[in-house]
A and B are shown apart, each in its own frame.
Chain A
Amino acid sequence: MSGITRRTWLVTRREWNQRARTRAFLGSTLLSVLIVVVLIMVPEIYGGGGPPSRTVGLVGQNSPRLPSLLQAAGTQVDLAVKTRAFADEAAGRAAIDSGDVSVLLVDQQELVWKAEADTQLQAAATSAVSVLEQERAITEMRLTPEQAHRLLAPPELRSTSLDPSSDEQTARADLGRIGVVLLFMAIAFYCAFVLTGVVEEKSSRVVEVLLSRVRPTELLAGKILGIGLVGLAQLAVVMGAGLIALSFADNTVIPETTPGTFGWIVFWFILGYAFYSVLYATAGSLVSRQEETQGLQLPMTGLLFIAYILAFVATESPDGTAALVGSLFPPTAPMVMIVRIAHGAVPWWQIALSVALMAAAVYGLVQAAGRIYAGGVLRFGGRVGLIEAWRGAEA
């Protein structure tokens, strides 16, 4: 395949102008942006942004430090505790009745509940009050600051989880699934454009007018580049919008591998598209009419689906052998690798090896496909055999 010539760029520019400047493109891009942004922002909306909240009514003799102590104690039992002071117990009890407060704390002595005690809130209140009690006792005992500290400092317990952060793992698997679906859709969608584009030129016979001016490889390269750039632009805009949404969404549900994964989705689209578009273009050069493309798409669609399914298998065990092999094997690499990247901690050499294998596969494919395309694209009337097309480009 020759270098990129001016003619290649002209073909590329035509593809861009004919596709990227349409309302359909603008509409589908905006829709995709909307979906991604909503996906990122919505958990934030329905998640309520944190632990459940409780209001503690205060009445009688209470330390002014009680509200802040209650709040701190609440955090430890995963409650957002607010306080509200009442002039007398009657007003406080009325607030319990109406549900405005969960509990009424009277004189730092008594907790008044509407029905049963909320054990979490009770623990928080007890803890807050006991801090005040301990401080009072320390003052009365006239302890040195060191003694006071020893008495008050909580012991530090080390935590070890047997299933570390399983919420985060689930979220990362979900991220991987989203990445796979996005990649699959983008690759399948834009490769279909390549296929119909090639067949359109053949069925409308404009290909002969074109090939009297440009080499088959120039036309093929320009078409793949042009459509690929449209796809890349769309994906980059959508992923970019996603990243911006992420920076606004202070959402703990979203795994920390997300920004990196978004970047890698764009990167793997380039490689995956390069691989599959060449296959689809070659298939297109072998048929004369759009109706004939159905059966011919089967091998590529099959390959794409295998990659899709393998990627979902990989979400279950991202460190397994199947995931490793799938992330190195060029036809499945983009989608399986994105799952592993979303899972996190893919050794850099594996990514490098996968990219190198993919680049080699694309290079080899372009050599063979360029020739088959050149041999097939000018043969009209029914399906052209692969071997016939290969031979047709000889001499």
Chain B
Amino acid sequence: MLEVRDLTKRYGDVAALDGASFRVAPGRIVGFLGPNGAGKTTTMRTVFGLVHPDRGEVRWKGELIGPGERARFGYMPEERGLYPKMKVGEQLKYFAELSGMDAPTAKDATAGWLDRLHLGERAGARLEELSHGNQQRIQLAAALVHDPELAVLDEPFSGLDPLGVQAMAEMLTQTAATGAAVLFSSHQLDLVEDVCQDVVIIDHGRIVLTGAVEELKAASAHRSLDIRVDGHPWVPILPGGTITNKQGGRERLLVDSSVDLEEVLTSARRIGEVTAFSFEPPSLADLFMAAVSEGARR
């Protein structure tokens, strides 16, 4: 269990983190979501001691994190980077050994990962000779080569095509299946909706929502409502009010979950022919918007 407690970090007048607390359980894939600049990278770097918080702490299995713990973590920074001129196989083995693996184990782990990525024959190639996509894969392998108990991946999906996203999602699922805790960040909430089991949503350095995705959706006081009358979106006037959320170039409507659907449908029919009607649990983006606006109201 990774426990982040009350992290606070200021850069000059800017509060990058403002009392952020959350947990990551073993075997779970946790999406660390929020807009750019919300404090995701700062939090992740704090886990690895790359940033020293002004206040707060990070614990692993109840212990404050030191070099011994970090050796069992894997980290893929947002700014990707490996040695361009070093051979791929040597490079992965080097990182495995730096994380505490002995030489033979590191060698086996490297071979295993290269096979898994179908890059076994490129072990002797310099990193810079690989395609961009393959370099990304090696980057992920460098983070996971030593079978970490905790994998922290900063924006692993950014820059990937849909196939790449799928492959990355599978990789994360496999990693979590081995019992590792997986924490990954993303600012594209819709993209990772189906990947994460738990979410930690951060905004302006504060955690605004955390929990299991399904539970959060079910427990949400909102529902996503989409009504089309004569092919056009239609917005009912409701007692609880509505929140609109622009997503994918389309307005989405969040309404109170207790809304009387029959009444809404009846009023819609009075206007014209109802061509589409959906009433669903909110998306992650909806949850985020609701949480942020709630936070703003408080």
Interface residues of A (CB under 8 A from B): 7, 10-11, 14, 17-18, 200-201, 204-215, 378, 380, 394-395
Q: How far is the CA of A363 from the CA of B280 in the complex (A)?
A: 66
Instruction: From known contacts A204-B82, A204-B84, A395-B52, infer whether A209 and B94 are also in contact, taking CB-CB under 8 Å.
Output: no
Is B84 a contact of A209 with CB atoms below 8 Å? no
Is A214 a contact of B83 with CB atoms below 8 Å? no
Instruction: From known contacts A206-B82, A209-B82, infer whether A10 and B50 are also in contact, taking CB-CB under 8 Å.
Output: no
Contact of B48 among A200, A212, A395 (CB under 8 A): A212
B80 at interface, CB cutoff 8 A: yes
**Shortest Cβ distance from B82 into A: residue:** A206
CB interface residues, B 4-57, toward A, < 8 Å: 45, 48-50, 52, 54
Give the residues in chain B near A378, CB-CB below 8 Å: 45, 50
**Shortest Cβ distance from A203 into B: residue:** B81
Q: How far is the CA of A205 from the CA of B127 in the complex (A)?
A: 14
Is B52 a contact of A213 with CB atoms below 8 Å? no
Contact of B50 among A7, A206, A212 (CB under 8 A): A212
Per-position contact with A for B67-110: 1 when CB-CB < 8 Å, else 0? Answer: 10011010111011111111000100011011100000000000
Secondary structure at chain B's binding surface: helix, strand, loop or mixed? Answer: loop
Is A14 a contact of B50 with CB atoms below 8 Å? no
Q: How far is the CA of A207 from the CA of B71 in the complex (A)?
A: 16
Is A209 a contact of B52 with CB atoms below 8 Å? no
Give the residues in chain A near B81, CB-CB below 8 Å: 204-209
Q: How far is the CA of A207 from the CA of B77 in the complex (A)?
A: 10
Give the residues in chain A near B67, CB-CB below 8 Å: 215
Closest chain A CB from B79 CB (angstroms): 4
Is A209 a contact of B75 with CB atoms below 8 Å? yes
Give the residues in chain A near B143, CB-CB below 8 Å: 209
Closest chain A CB from B275 CB (angstroms): 51
B142 at interface, CB cutoff 8 A: yes
Q: How far is the CA of A205 from the CA of B83 in the complex (A)?
A: 9
**Shortest Cβ distance from B47 into A: residue:** A212
Interface size class of B (residues with CB under 8 A): 20 to 34
Give the residues in chain B near A7, CB-CB below 8 Å: 98
Contact of A212 among B52, B70, B94, B97 (CB under 8 A): B70
Q: How far is the CA of A395 from the CA of B53 in the complex (A)?
A: 8
**Shortest Cβ distance from A18 into B: residue:** B86
**Shortest Cβ distance from B139 into A: residue:** A209
Is B142 a contact of A209 with CB atoms below 8 Å? yes
**Shortest Cβ distance from A208 into B: residue:** B77
The number of residue pairs between A and B whose CB atoms lie closer than 8 Å in the complex comes to 61
Q: How far is the CA of A213 from the CA of B67 in the complex (A)?
A: 7
A-B pairs with beta carbons under 8 Å apart, 23 shown: A10-B94, A11-B98, A14-B94, A17-B90, A18-B85, A201-B83, A205-B77, A205-B79, A205-B81, A206-B82, A206-B83, A208-B50, A209-B77, A209-B81, A209-B95, A209-B143, A211-B48, A212-B70, A212-B73, A212-B77, A213-B71, A394-B52, A395-B52
Give the residues in chain B near A209, CB-CB below 8 Å: 75-77, 81-82, 95, 142-143
Q: How far is the CA of A200 from the CA of B49 in the complex (A)?
A: 22
Is B86 a contact of A213 with CB atoms below 8 Å? no
Closest 8 CB pairs of A and B: A205-B81, A212-B75, A212-B48, A206-B81, A395-B52, A208-B77, A205-B79, A213-B98
**Shortest Cβ distance from A14 into B: residue:** B94
Give the residues in chain A near B79, CB-CB below 8 Å: 205, 208, 380
Is B77 a contact of A204 with CB atoms below 8 Å? no
Knowing that A209-B142, A214-B98 touch, tell me 6 more A-B residue pairs with CB under 8 angstroms. A14-B94, A204-B83, A209-B75, A212-B73, A378-B45, A380-B79
Closest chain A CB from B92 CB (angstroms): 11
Closest chain A CB from B10 CB (angstroms): 12
Give the residues in chain B near A18, CB-CB below 8 Å: 85-86
Q: How far is the CA of A257 from the CA of B152 in the complex (A)?
A: 60
Q: How far is the CA of A17 from the CA of B89 in the complex (A)?
A: 14
Q: How far is the CA of A7 from the CA of B97 in the complex (A)?
A: 8
Closest chain A CB from B71 CB (angstroms): 7
**Shortest Cβ distance from A7 into B: residue:** B98
Give the residues in chain A near B85, CB-CB below 8 Å: 18
Closest chain B CB from A3 CB (angstroms): 13
Q: How far is the CA of A14 from the CA of B83 in the complex (A)?
A: 11
**Shortest Cβ distance from B90 into A: residue:** A17
Closest chain A CB from B65 CB (angstroms): 11
Give the residues in chain B near A11, CB-CB below 8 Å: 98
Q: How far is the CA of A205 from the CA of B97 in the complex (A)?
A: 19
Is A213 a contact of B83 with CB atoms below 8 Å? no
Closest chain B CB from A39 CB (angstroms): 34
Q: How far is the CA of A14 from the CA of B106 in the complex (A)?
A: 15
Give the residues in chain A near B52, CB-CB below 8 Å: 394-395
Q: How far is the CA of A205 from the CA of B80 in the complex (A)?
A: 6
Is B70 a contact of A213 with CB atoms below 8 Å? yes
Most buried by B among A201, A208, A212, A213: A212
Closest chain A CB from B36 CB (angstroms): 16
Closest chain A CB from B293 CB (angstroms): 33
Is B77 a contact of A213 with CB atoms below 8 Å? no
Is A211 a contact of B50 with CB atoms below 8 Å? yes
Q: How far is the CA of A394 from the CA of B143 in the complex (A)?
A: 27
Q: How far is the CA of A210 from the CA of B75 in the complex (A)?
A: 10
Closest chain A CB from B97 CB (angstroms): 5
Q: How far is the CA of A18 from the CA of B94 in the complex (A)?
A: 12
**Shortest Cβ distance from A380 into B: residue:** B79
Closest chain A CB from B67 CB (angstroms): 7
Closest chain A CB from B51 CB (angstroms): 8
Give the residues in chain B near A10, CB-CB below 8 Å: 94, 97-98
CB interface residues, B 156-194, toward A, < 8 Å: none
**Shortest Cβ distance from A200 into B: residue:** B83
